[in-house]
Amino acid sequence: MTDILRTHALTRTFGGLVALRDIDLAVREGTIHAVIGPNGSGKTTLFNVISGVYRPTAGRVEFLGRDTGGLPPETLADRGLGRTFQNSRLFTSMTVLESVLVVLYRRGFALRVGASARRRAHEILDFVGLSDEANAACASLPQGKRRLLEIAKVLALDPKLVLLDEPHGGLNHAETARLIATIRSMHGKGLTVLLIEHEMDVVMQLADEITVLNFGQQLAHGEPADIQHNEAVVEAYLGSAGEAAIAPPQPAATAEERLLDVRGLTVRFGDIEAVRGIDLHVAPGEIVSVLGNNGAGKSTTLKAISRLLPAGGEVSFAGTDLRQKRTEHLVGLGMALVPERRRLFGAMSVLDNLRVGAYGRPAAEIQEVMEEVLDLFPSLRRLSGLLAASLSGGEQQMLAIGRALMSRPRLLMLDEPSLGLAPMLVDQVFAKLADINSRGTAVLLVEQNARMALAASHRAYVLASGRVVAEGDARKLAEDESVKNAYLGIAA
Ligand SMILES: Nc1ncnc2c1ncn2[C@@H]1O[C@H](COP(=O)(O)OP(=O)(O)OP(=O)(O)O)[C@@H](O)[C@H]1O
Ligand SMILES: [Mg+2]
């Protein structure tokens, strides 16, 4: 079997930071090859250099036996190298069908033969399972379908090699199964796939070979079974992941009192009622999770509570009516949010982003909390002078969580804290939540990973179509077969 892609001593630096050092990667034609490694280990940078987004600082890339010698992404795409990005880049004003057609047209496919372009676009949508959504607006697609659309757009390039950067981020159980099936059938059609993925279940189900990066260098390479038990990989990346390392929280102080009290919450987007009368509360000292499929209304609920969206109903925090408050008042009241899209200040340094989180606090206290946050996420210490915009996906997630912790909130609200984090770090973040909770901070958590969230929570609410369909003790919900099957996608 020949190698479709090779890198030779590939190196890329950013200022003093060596993001990749001497990488020799060989991807055999017709295989699914996974690249894994801690946050900031250079995975996305590797994709950027291979696909021509960045030039190598040293070394070279060979695709289909030819040196790519600094060719731009469009030229490489014409030669058969397609890729998706870690953060979705969709034209939100278009329909699903249109956004695939755009790619076909750009390839010069068919300004002449419009009908055949449409036929091809429908074929591709059918292949990834988006036929029913062909005429839907991209903006209205839930996360899982956006991922599939990204893949559809790459397939429209008719590629030989596809680079997928964390395609599974933010997907629920059913969507993950669909994604895996789609990648398998791409493979079945002879495509070679190079895949970055943190979810080891997914990697193990798909990969023929795995390359592990750590601090920009190759830590290991081999077959999945070997990598899973490789001591260096376990130590640097996997931790005890998958072995239920999450400790259940200590019992909450009291369930009677209400720190956060939400009654009859409603949110409309035009004609669509995304949240239809939700009652929810968090007692002081509680960890409460909000679960449910994509599109169930979880993030919308959190945004409405945080006044990021106009909403009907009543929301109060520690006795204060929040309806008259703006988002920026909430920190002063003791609420902090880690929002869905992180909302970092990209043009500010890591340290300054953290300082913003503690705005208005005494200097001595800021220093103390800063040390705590930097101890929790040691990589942020290393990156403290960098602009937030240049951080890797997982590093940005750490910064967003760190910034929220900086205000020492009474209630910490998090939207998908595990998204984009390496397995070991997910364990650490959940351990940290239990830790700050034991010191008195209440937590309201939105999570796709229901199993993990239930293990880490006192109570939970399950949403479907904008309503609460189940609620109660987290342990009991975790054992409730009907809830698990219908709403959480957790196999028994
Ligand atoms: N344009 C840039 N300028 C400065 N530093 C950068 C730039 N791009 C990436 N880096 C740094 O290079 C390192 C590698 O980043 P990269 O995005 O490749 O990591 P990753 O392995 O994809 O991580 P993650 O799993 O978190 O997505 C990080 O420390 C990051 O901060
Ligand atoms: Mg990345």
Give the ligand at the shortest distance from the Cα of 392: 1
Q: Which of residues 238, 272, 300 is at a domain's end?
A: 238
List 281's β-bridge partners, or say none. 261
**Residue whose token pair is 């010698």:** 69
**Residue 19 Cα, ligand 1 centroid: separation in angstroms?**
7
**Residue 153 Cα, ligand 1 centroid: separation in angstroms?**
25
Per-residue pLDDT tens listing for the chain (492 residues): 799 999 999 999 998 899 999 999 999 999 999 999 999 999 999 999 999 999 999 999 999 999 998 899 989 998 999 998 766 666 668 899 999 998 888 776 555 556 788 889 999 999 988 999 999 988 878 777 888 899 999 999 889 999 999 888 777 777 888 889 999 999 999 999 999 999 888 999 999 999 999 999 999 999 999 999 999 998 888 886 544 456 667 666 656 789 999 999 999 988 888 999 999 999 999 999 999 887 788 989 999 999 888 899 999 999 999 988 888 888 889 999 998 777 888 899 999 999 988 888 888 889 999 998 998 888 899 999 999 998 888 889 889 999 999 999 999 999 988 888 888 888 888 888 888 898 889 999 998 888 889 999 999 999 999 999 999 999 999 888 878 777 776 654
Domain-embedded: residue 368 = no
- The residues lining ligand 1, judged by C-beta closer than 6 Å to any ligand atom, are 14, 17, 19, 37, 39-45, 86, 383, 386, 390-395, 420
313: left (phi over 0), alpha (psi -120 to 50) or beta: left
Give the ligand at the shortest distance from the Cα of 350: 1
* 207, 279: one domain: no
**Residue 391 Cα, ligand 1 centroid: separation in angstroms?**
5
pLDDT in the model for residue 243: 45
108 phi/psi in degrees, rounded to 5: 75, 20
Domain-embedded: residue 377 = no
Question: Taking every pair of C-alpha atoms in the chain, what is the biggest distance, in angstroms?
Answer: 70
Domain that holds residue 327: 260-334+409-488
Domain-embedded: residue 380 = no
Atom of ligand 1 minimally distant from the CA of 396: 26
For ligand 1, mutation pick of 23, 213, 384, 395 (most atoms within 8 Å of CB): 395
* 285, 415: one domain: yes
Atom of ligand 1 minimally distant from the CA of 43: 21
Relative orientation angle of helices 350-357 and 363-376, to the nearest 10 degrees: 120
* 286, 233: one domain: no
**Residue 133 Cα, ligand 1 centroid: separation in angstroms?**
34
* 127, 177: one domain: yes
* 210, 282: one domain: no
Rounded-to-integer distance, Cα 178 and Cα 369, Å: 42
* 297, 188: one domain: no
**Residue 271 Cα, ligand 2 centroid: separation in angstroms?**
37
Helix%, strand%, coil% for the chain, nearest 5: 40, 25, 35
Please state the separation of Cα 36 from the chain's center in Å: 15
**Residue 303 Cα, ligand 1 centroid: separation in angstroms?**
29
Domain-embedded: residue 128 = yes
CATH of the domain at 154: 3.40.50.300
pLDDT in the model for residue 117: 85
For ligand 1, mutation pick of 391, 401, 424, 426 (most atoms within 8 Å of CB): 391
Polymer length in residues for the chain: 492
Give the ligand at the shortest distance from the Cα of 395: 1
**Residue 230 Cα, ligand 1 centroid: separation in angstroms?**
24
Domain-embedded: residue 355 = no
Rounded-to-integer distance, Cα 357 and Cα 445, Å: 19
| Number of Cβ atoms within 10 Å of the Cβ of 174 | 12
* 324, 456: one domain: yes
For ligand 1, mutation pick of 11, 25, 45, 195 (most atoms within 8 Å of CB): 45
pLDDT in the model for residue 112: 53
Which residue's CA lies nearest to atom 27 of ligand 1? 393
* 233, 264: one domain: no
**Residue 171 Cα, ligand 2 centroid: separation in angstroms?**
17
Domain-embedded: residue 255 = no
CA distances (Å), 23 to each of 162, 208, 235, 380, in order?
A: 19, 19, 21, 24
Question: Which one-letter DSSP state was computed for residue 68?
Answer: -
Domain-embedded: residue 404 = no
Rounded-to-integer distance, Cα 168 and Cα 183, Å: 11
- Please choose, from the candidates 398, 391, 438, the residue with its C-alpha nearest in 3D space to the C-alpha of residue 414: 398
Rounded-to-integer distance, Cα 447 and Cα 463, Å: 12
268 phi/psi in degrees, rounded to 5: -115, 140
| Number of Cβ atoms within 10 Å of the Cβ of 266 | 15
* 77, 144: one domain: yes
**62 three-class SS:** strand
* 150, 268: one domain: no
pLDDT in the model for residue 246: 63
Total structural domains within the chain: 2
Domain-embedded: residue 392 = no
Relative orientation angle of helices 350-357 and 393-405, to the nearest 10 degrees: 30
Atom of ligand 1 minimally distant from the CA of 391: 31
How many CA atoms does the CB half-sphere of 291 hold within 13 Å? 33
